[in-house]
Amino acid sequence: MFDDLFNEQVQETIERLRQHEPPEGYYLAYSGGKDSDTILTLAKMAGVKFDAHYQLTTVDPPELVKHIKTHPEVQIHHPEKTMWQLIVENTGPPLRQMRYCCRVLKERGGEGRVVLTGIRKAESFKRSKRQMLEKSRQDPTKSYVNPIMDWTDEDVWRFIRTFNVPYCPLYDEGWKRLGCVCCPNGNQKKQAERWPKLADAYRRACIRAFNAKIASGRAYSYPWKDGDEMYEWWISGAGKGPYREGISYCDDDQSIMFE
């Protein structure tokens, strides 16, 4: 069904999962993307104990959420605050180097657990520095096991096709990586056109954020005349750097963005 080299790779990954299985089982961090589908399937093949969790961000593509709901074993966790609330609180939308949303919406859960992820070196330059076994930089009670760290995109797709693993249909539309709609790390204009209702919600949040700062008397630091102009600047992809202070930087521990 597949050649010896691929078989060896799959078996080696299964052994990794068994070798590092904690007594209480893994906390499987599931995103709904192809890598998460791969690690979920591998965990089942390995027969290891795990509980799977998805952190809803409120700006997830509807197609992705629908795919996630086809997996009843995945627990869906709702955030305490929506993206729209965070935009108002932070006086503007997230920027490429200031994605305050990641910590609040994505990097939650797994405290005191061994977190199983589908992170791979091939995904980005930053992730190329990651290791298969890691300790959390924020939470000393949490550690990570990334068993497909050395898999390529081709390896993942071969696994999915070989074992008929269901995946999100957005990949068939040409999207390469899945995550929050209009993330500043991706093509925001393209995403806004694909999901206009979410784009309109971003616009309304920008207007509320602008008006709230005007009401506070601190709008002197804004370079825009109103919230609409703020949104248009942001959605154009111009938000490459900070325009305000006091925002924590995202460390990309579990972030998956659209390309």
Task: Measure Cα distances from 170 to 45, 66, 143, 255 in Å.
Answer: 25, 11, 31, 18
- Residue 162 · residue 2 · CB < 8 Å: yes
- The per-residue pLDDT for 99 is 81
- The per-residue pLDDT for 207 is 97
Task: Measure Cα distances from 106 to 23, 94, 113, 182, 254 in Å.
Answer: 26, 14, 16, 15, 7
- Residue 254 · residue 117 · CB < 8 Å: yes
Query: What DSSP string runs through 240-252?
Result: -S-SSSS-PPP--
Query: From first to last of its 259 residues, what are the pLDDT tens digits of the chain?
Result: 447 778 899 999 999 999 999 999 999 999 999 999 999 999 999 999 999 999 999 999 999 999 999 999 999 999 999 999 999 999 999 998 788 898 888 888 899 999 999 999 877 777 777 888 999 888 889 999 999 999 999 999 999 999 999 999 999 999 988 889 999 988 899 999 999 999 999 999 999 999 998 888 776 677 899 999 999 999 998 765 443 433 333 334 333 323 2
Superfamily of domain 4-238: HUPs (3.40.50.620)
- The per-residue pLDDT for 244 is 41
Q: Could you give the CA distance from residue 37 to residue 148 in angstroms, rounded to a whole number?
A: 12
- Residue 220 · residue 91 · CB < 8 Å: no
Going by C-alpha positions, the residue among 96, 98, 116, 83 that lies closest to residue 198 is 83
